[in-house]
Structure formats: C-alpha cells, structure tokens
C-alpha cells in the first residue's frame, strides 16, 4: 500500500498494517542557549513529528561552550555554541553542488557551516573553573548583536582574536565580514576600517581559503574580486551534448563520487565562485594591499618566520569524473609582500589515480613548511607513479628546500627515502625527527628516527608493527609549541627522549598513559597511567612557552577525566620533581548533559564467535533496571563491521568500561530513556589472514558475529529474544539489511540509515574492498542485500538523506532497495529526509527520524503489558520510572492506531 506523503518529508510504506508515525501528544520542549531559541510543540511543522518527550529532551540538551587557550596560556576563550541541531530552514537554503563541493552562493562560502553565538575571555587564574560565571568574563562586544561567528583565531602574540560574522537571518545573508577583537578590553571592530566594509569586494570569499595570520600585525585573506559582475546565466537551451573521451584507452577507474560537474555551465559557475583576490591586511589600520591577480586560490601558508608564503590555486581543465581535489593545481613560493619567487609544483588533472589503498597523486604531495625551521620547504614524491601495484625501491622520497635557496634557483635535497608509502615527518630538533611510513595490504607501520642535521646517516627503525594491533600501540609523541607558532616534538631537555601519549588498549580495556621513550635504547618509563574507576587521558602541554625546555620538574599538561556516569572534566596536571606523583587541579565543571539517564548501567561483554575469535560489545541497561524484577527487555543491537588481517587483532578490546556514555542526537542510546536495553558496537570483524580477501566470507562471518552477540544477551537474560532490533548507519545499514536476509531468525525488525545495498552500483570498490566488480563478481553479488530482497521478510525501516553526498551511498540506493522489497511483499518503510546529507543535522529531520525509528521499534518489538510486576516506585516496568501517562513505550505503541487513518 502506498501512503500519501505529508508535506516536508517523503514516507513510503509497503506494509498496510505497519504503524504510521506516532504523533507525540505532549506539548514539546523548548530550550535556550546563548540567545537562540528553538521551540518544539508536538509537531515541528507540516509532516514532521517529534519522538516521545524523554528522547526529545536528551536531543535538545544545551550545548556547553568550547574552550581555547591563548598561545601565552594566560587566557581561556569560551566559545558559546548554539542548540545542537539547526532548523531545517538552514539546510533548505539554496546550494550549488559543484565538483564535490556544496556552496552558498549568497555568502561565497561552503554551505552548512557551524557557528558560535558568542565569545568570552577569562583570566587563567589558579582558582578558575569553566564555564566561568559572567562576573569573571570579558565578553567580546562591538559587533552586531545576534551575529553568528566563524573562523575564530588567536594572533601569535595573544593580543588579538580575528573572526568573521554573518547574519542569523536566512534572508539577509551576505559574504562574511572580518572583525578583530582586543583581548584586553574585549572590544571588537571591523578589520577593514580603511575601506567601505559594505562593499562586496571587501568581503571574504571563503570557499577554499578564508584568512590566516602572517604575523602579529598582518593577515592574509581571500576576497571577492572587484567588479566581479553577475554569475554566469544558465543557457535556456543546451549548447550541445556532454562529451567525454577516452579514445586513447587510458585506465581511469573511480569511486562513485557525488556532486560532480555535469556540464560546462557548472564549470563556469565553479570558476566564477571560487575565483578570489588575495590581499594583505594591516591589523592596526585595516588597510588592504591586494596582491597577485584574481585566481582560484585554494591555500595560503606563511613560513614560520613570516617572511615567505606558499600560495596555491586551482586551474582548468576541470573534470566531470572526479572532485576538485584532483583538478590541476599550481603552487608557488612568494615573499611576504606577494612578490613571485619560484614555482614549486604544478600538478596536472589526476583522473587516473588507482583505486587501491596506498595509491596517491603523481608529483609533490604533503607540500608545506618544516615546523622546526624558520623557512624550509618539504614535500614527498612517489617513485611508483602513485600505483601501489608497482614494485619499486624506494617507493617515496622526502625532499627539503630552504626558501632562500629556492630563491637562488637551488635544487631540493633528498632528506629520506621509504619503501612503504610515506606518511610524513614529525619534526623536532636538528638531532631528532620521526619519519612515518605504512602499507595497507600487510597493515605494516614503520616509525623511524632521523637526525635532520645529518640526514645522510639515514633512518633508524624505532617501531615496526602491525597497526591493527591495538595492544602493541606505543602511542604518539606529544608536541610543544614554538615561538614561531608551530608545533614540534616535545623532546626532554638535553636528551633524545620523547613524551609518548597513548590509549593503552589492553585485555582490561583502554588505560591511557604518558611514557618517557628513549629513542636510542627503545626503553620506556611509565610516567602516568589512567586507573579505575576513572577514564583519564592527557592532552596539550602547558609548559611550552617561549621555547622553554621541556623538563620533568616543570612538566604540566591538560588532562581529561570521566566516569561512565559523569561527563569529561578538564584538569591541569603537573609534576614538581621526577619520581614524585603528579599534582592536579580541576579546570572545568560542566553539568551532566542528560540527567534523566545518568544512572544507567553499563558493562563490556566478552564472548566468543563460533570460530573461536574473541568478541566484545557494550551493554547498556536503563536506570533502575532490575533483572529479577523486570525480566528481559526489548533490545536494539547497533553495529558497524570492520575488516582485519589478523584474528588476534580482531579480538582485541578497544574500549573502556570507565568512559562516559555520550549520547548523540542520533544515537541508539536514546532508547535507554524508553526502558530498552542497547547493545552498542558489538564487534563484527571480517577477518582474512594472508592472501585471503575478507569479503569473500563476509556473510558467514557477519552472521556468526551477530549470532554470538544475540546469544550472549539471551544467556544473560537481559534481552527478550523475540524483541531484538538490529540497526546501523552507512556500512552499518548495509550490515543490518544483510542480517535480515541471511540471519532472519535473530531479529524482530531492522533499521537501516543512509546505506548502500546494491554493490554493482559501487563497482570500483567500497569500504575496504579494493577489487572491482569485474575482479570479484561473485563477492559483489553475494554481499548485495538488494539482490537478496526476496529473502527478506522481517520488517525493515529505510531512512536516507535526500542529498546524501557520501561516495557510494547515493539516495538511489534506498529508493531502489525499497522498490525491490516492496515488489516481494516485505514489510518495509522508507523515509527520505529533505536537504539532509549522509548524516542528519536539522532539528526537524533528527526528531522525525527518531520518531519514525521509535514507532517502528515499538510496533515490532512491543513493550510488555503494564500488568507486569511494578517497579519499586510504583510505576510500570520499562517506563524509566515514569507513571503510565501516555508517554511510555506501551502507550506509544497504543497511540499508533489513533493516527493510522490520518497518515
């Protein structure tokens, strides 16, 4: 039966008895955050619905401010955030979809930008707790009240904050304005004081670049060119056919990219909107010096000493087959005043990069500045043509070239060579840097030391390991800030010793650590490690001012602490002397974001798959749940498969029982508030050792993993085997559909969001599959639930964004899968969310998606009768302690019939 869709979203349902969306009978919620308010009133608009109030309340939890330390560590910037989900009117703004980009033409920027609603500075005192009360804040003022703020950046001397503003009124959007605030007074002013800031040519073109500090007094920015004129007019009739030519027979396989250019009109639009004028702005005077001609500038990178600039821009010819990241690119070295010095690289159109992992573009890549030198260029060049199938040694060469030498016409120097694909260099001192290389096929990762002052001595292997092995991960080196504003390895004074930070994965769960690593001997000393009942991890160093040496007796850093029930809080941890325990003081005091489910129960489960592989999952049970009293619950299993080359690595535990339970606006954990059990992230490893390919046994391994997870929650008595739903997003949606086709006895229903179901529509690889459809035809066909639609009889809810921009998950995947299911009489329902991409962000969309999912789960995994044993507070079981007043699971299921005829 085809239901007539309501305005605002498309809903199709092939099950005549399937419960239409339940319209919540409550008055909704409202919440205010930093001056912005969104209201919910039972319905969000024509066709949009709210989920039950206990779920909507969590989704609408206020956002806490983001924090940023000033470079001199004397101030903390509190950046106030809006409500977590914007209104659908924001997503409904016109978009240009060009060459993999989505643009807002009226703002000359990327569309769908986040923003801040306000900024406030607080002094970094010994008793500071953030968020700080208003009496301790210095609010940034002077800009138009209610403006939305973007691109907030400190100056290197900590005296100024630069940012952009835009209007919150969707009908009054113009290109971004630049502002700068004095940190001491909080007073902001338009940066372009010496010009008419209302002129469009003094507004930013932020499609590729926005602005960057050159030094404490100078900012480089990309502006809309003067006399830009009107955008190209769309031809009333086609000027000719679209023609693509491969008559020379070149091999150019490509993934299923979205939003590509379709014709020459699209190409003209891209050139029009991405063309900008580069300019230098004096911060004190607001004077602007325009440098270079208008071009499609993509990046401006000043040297650490602020005397040189790397400037890159995109050029024609464009392509209809790949996104703009593969279009021709030119990179030049300029002086800080914009004078041309030398062309560093020209990268032609790259349509022929192989689809295999470890493939790369020919020519210089990772081109930038050494962080440890005032002005020295560095880049990597492949020696295999970018094709990992070519056997060559070395595979990559890392080059360096001082800017002054480049100006004299000098050739680059060979810094290091690698036989695996080079990943880059972590610079430190003349005596120590780290070179990274890895190889996907073998999961090999090599980290080597090198002396940059004597590169001819070559590389010395520090770690050679399988990067899938979480238990053997030595961590990553901490970095410290330099006086040039760059970050380099945090080397302990007078040594070749590094501070290493890692998650500390183990059979007992993650236990983050801080180690001292002697790179010459390979020996480590454990300086600190997280321990129960907390989950803690270390972050940025706070003792790295003005190039001060890093010493153990003055070491201090930022640390985060959380528990399963309490959200992360920041601490400052410091050491007074080696061998002594660290001191700490609390820096933040954020409230619990969703107190209604604070006292939920959490446990990491361990069990085995039929083939002996160890598996783990996190089981969440609702607050006040008592197994003896309440019995087995309806349960949702939410997962995402992963590929491995090692059974041992596949069975490793990669989580902690002591981490805080964060609940995002689309999380399955929202159903804890409805009294459900949630099995989140049960391991679904797809393993193939040696030369085997994981996906050749995907279905068998997927089914065995799911069966082991279901058997475990059944064995524990916490999940009703007749009321288990399976769900996932993206590759997890693909998983859910396959499980309903090949293991239908395990689940009562399924939810699949933004998935791909027909692998013949992603013929040049997907996920970790490197083979093409023509190389592994049987695997592609067997893995496609679309081609197994006749086997699916359990109810399946399909949800997809109408503007999905993720490679491989085009909205057509759900549309065609729904048609196939409907054609075979499967109970199914499809919901297409207008204007949404691969993930869902608008409040109306998120709430409606949750309402659809809740109604589906309540219909096919209905709650038990309220006549069951009461909870200790007298309320019905599985109602999260709330009286049976029309908002619990049973009432929600009953309410479905009240609105069935209307929908």
Token pair in block for residue 209: 């670049």
Place of tokens 């560093």: 344
Examine the residue annotation and report whether 592 is marked as an active-site residue of this protein.
no
Pairwise CA distance, residues 541 & 573, whole Å: 10
818 SS3 class: helix
CB 74 within 8 A of CB 126: no
Q: CB 434: neighbour CB atoms within 10 A?
A: 21
Pairwise CA distance, residues 477 & 518, whole Å: 12
578 SS3 class: coil
Instruction: Find the helix or strand (DSSP H, E) in which 782 lies.
Output: helix 777-783
Query: What are the φ and ψ backbone dihedral angles of 804, each rounded to 5 degrees?
Result: -60, 125
CB 436 within 8 A of CB 422: yes
Sign, CA torsion 264/268/273/274: positive
Q: Which one, of 377, 305, 375, 289, lies nearest residue 339 by Cα?
A: 289
CA dihedral 301, 303, 306, 308 (to 10 degrees): -80
Instruction: Find the helix or strand (DSSP H, E) in which 843 lies.
Output: helix 843-860
CB 208 within 8 A of CB 222: yes
Which pairing describes strands 796-801 and 828-833: parallel, antiparallel, or unpaired?
parallel
Pairwise CA distance, residues 395 & 393, whole Å: 5
The runs of H, that is alpha helices, within 519-662 are 627-630, 647-650
CA dihedral 465, 466, 467, 473 (to 10 degrees): -50
Which pairing describes strands 340-347 and 365-369: parallel, antiparallel, or unpaired?
unpaired
Pairwise CA distance, residues 803 & 95, whole Å: 11
CB 499 within 8 A of CB 434: no
Q: Is the peptide bond before 317 cis (omega within 30 degrees of 0)?
A: yes
Place of tokens 């279905």: 699
Token pair in block for residue 95: 């978009």
Q: How many residues would you count in the chain?
A: 903
CB 853 within 8 A of CB 833: no
Angle, nearest 10°, between helix axes 731-742 and 698-716?
80
11 SS3 class: strand
Examine the residue annotation and report whether 838 is marked as an active-site residue of this protein.
yes
Pairwise CA distance, residues 761 & 256, whole Å: 8
What is the largest distance, in Å, between two alpha-carbon atoms of the chain?
87
Side by side, the strands of the sheet bearing 118-123 are 66-69, 75-80, 118-123, 138-139
Examine the residue annotation and report whether 448 is marked as an active-site residue of this protein.
no
Token pair in block for residue 356: 């295999």
Token pair in block for residue 640: 């995402």
- Of the candidates 530, 730, 879, 882, the residue annotated as catalytic is 730
CB 749 within 8 A of CB 797: yes
- Catalytic residues, which ones? 730, 804, 838
């Amino acid at each position: 039966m085809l239901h007539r869709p309501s305005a605002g979203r498309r809903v199709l349902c092939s099950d005549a008895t399937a419960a239409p969306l339940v319209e919540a009978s409550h008055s909704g919620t409202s919440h205010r955050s930093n001056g912005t308010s969104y209201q919910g009133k039972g319905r969000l608009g024509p066709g949009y619905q709210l989920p039950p109030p206990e779920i909507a309340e969590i989704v609408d939890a206020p956002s806490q401010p983001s924090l940023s330390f000033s470079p001199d560590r004397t101030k903390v910037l509190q950046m106030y955030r809006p409500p977590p989900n914007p209104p659908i009117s924001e997503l409904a703004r016109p978009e240009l979809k060009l060459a993999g980009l989505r643009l807002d033409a009226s703002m000359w920027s990327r569309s769908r930008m986040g923003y801040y609603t306000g900024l406030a500075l607080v002094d970094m005192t010994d008793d500071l707790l953030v968020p700080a009360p208003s009496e301790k804040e210095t609010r940034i003022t002077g800009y138009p009240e209610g403006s939305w703020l973007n691109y907030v950046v400190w100056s290197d001397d900590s005296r100024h904050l630069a940012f952009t503003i835009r209007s919150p009124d969707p009908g009054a959007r113009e290109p971004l304005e630049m502002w700068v605030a004095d940190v001491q007074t909080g007073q902001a002013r338009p940066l372009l004081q010496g010009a008419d800031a209302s002129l469009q040519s003094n507004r930013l073109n932020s499609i590729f670049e926005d602005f960057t500090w050159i030094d404490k007094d100078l900012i480089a920015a990309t502006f809309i060119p003067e006399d830009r004129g009107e955008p190209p007019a769309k031809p009333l009739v086609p000027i000719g056919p679209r023609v693509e030519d491969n008559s020379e027979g070149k091999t150019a396989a490509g993934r299923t990219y979205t939003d590509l250019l379709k014709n020459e009109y699209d190409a003209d639009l891209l050139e029009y909107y991405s063309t900008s004028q580069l300019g230098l702005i004096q911060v004190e005077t607001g004077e602007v010096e325009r440098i270079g001609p208008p071009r499609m500038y993509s990046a401006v990178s000043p040297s650490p000493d602020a005397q040189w600039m790397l400037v890159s821009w995109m050029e024609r010819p464009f392509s209809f087959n790949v996104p703009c990241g593969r279009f021709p690119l030119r990179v030049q070295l300029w002086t800080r005043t914009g004078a041309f010095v030398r062309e560093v690289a020209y990268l032609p159109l790259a349509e022929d990069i192989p689809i295999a992992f470890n493939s790369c573009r020919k020519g210089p890549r990772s081109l930038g500045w050494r962080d440890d030198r005032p002005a020295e260029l560095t880049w990597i060049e492949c020696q295999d043509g970018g094709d990992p199938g070519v056997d060559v040694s070395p595979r990559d060469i890392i080059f360096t070239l001082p800017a002054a030498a480049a100006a004299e016409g000098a050739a680059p120097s060979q810094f290091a060579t690698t036989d695996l694909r080079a990943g880059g260099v972590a610079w430190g001192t003349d005596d120590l840097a780290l070179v990274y290389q890895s190889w996907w096929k073998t999961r090999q990762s090599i980290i080597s030391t090198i002396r940059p002052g004597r590169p001819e001595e070559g590389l010395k292997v520090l770690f050679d390991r399988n990067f899938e092995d979480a238990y053997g991960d030595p961590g990553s080196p901490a970095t410290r800030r330099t006086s040039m504003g760059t970050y380099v390895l945090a080397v302990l004074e007078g040594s070749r010793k590094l501070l290493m930070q890692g998650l500390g994965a183990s059979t007992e769960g993650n236990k983050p650590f801080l180690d001292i690593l002697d790179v010459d001997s390979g020996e480590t000393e454990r300086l600190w490690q997280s321990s129960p009942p907390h989950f803690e991890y270390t972050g940025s160093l706070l003792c790295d001012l003005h190039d001060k040496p890093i010493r153990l007796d003055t070491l201090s850093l930022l640390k985060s602490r959380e528990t399963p029930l309490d959200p992360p809080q920041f601490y400052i941890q410091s050491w007074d002397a080696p061998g002594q325990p660290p001191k700490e003081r609390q820096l933040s005091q954020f409230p619990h974001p969703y107190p209604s489910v604070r006292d939920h129960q959490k446990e990491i489960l361990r069990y085995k798959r039929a083939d002996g592989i160890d598996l783990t999952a996190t089981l969440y049970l609702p607050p006040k749940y008592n197994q003896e009293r309440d019995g087995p619950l309806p349960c949702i299993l939410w997962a995402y498969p992963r590929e491995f080359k090692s059974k041992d690595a596949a069975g490793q535990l990669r989580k902690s029982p002591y981490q805080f339970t964060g609940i995002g606006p689309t999380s399955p954990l929202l159903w804890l508030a409805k009294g459900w059990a949630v099995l989140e992230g049960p391991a679904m490893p797809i393993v193939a050792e040696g030369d085997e390919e994981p996906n050749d046994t995907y279905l068998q391994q997927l089914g065995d993993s799911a069966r082991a997870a279901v058997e475990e929650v059944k064995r524990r008595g916490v999940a009703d085997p007749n009321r288990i739903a399976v769900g996932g997003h993206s590759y997890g949606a693909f998983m859910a559909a396959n499980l309903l086709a090949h293991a239908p006895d395990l689940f009562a229903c399924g939810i699949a969001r933004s998935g791909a179901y027909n692998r013949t529509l992603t013929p040049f690889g997907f996920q970790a599959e490197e083979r093409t459809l023509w190389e592994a035809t049987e695997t592609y066909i067997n893995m496609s639930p679309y081609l197994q639609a006749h086997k699916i009889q359990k109810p399946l809810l399909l949800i997809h964004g109408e503007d999905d921009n993720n490679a491989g998950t085009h909205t057509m995947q759900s549309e065609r899968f729904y048609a196939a299911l409907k054609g075979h009489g499967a109970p199914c329902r499809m919901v297409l969310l207008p204007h949404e991409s691969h993930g869902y962000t608008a409040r109306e969309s998120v709430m409606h998606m949750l309402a659809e999912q809740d109604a589906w789960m309540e219909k096919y995994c209905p709650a038990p009768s309220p006549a069951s044993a009461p909870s200790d507070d007298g309320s019905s079981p599985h109602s999260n302690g709330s009286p049976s007043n029309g908002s619990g699971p049973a009432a929600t299921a009953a309410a479905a019939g009240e609105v069935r005829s209307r929908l």
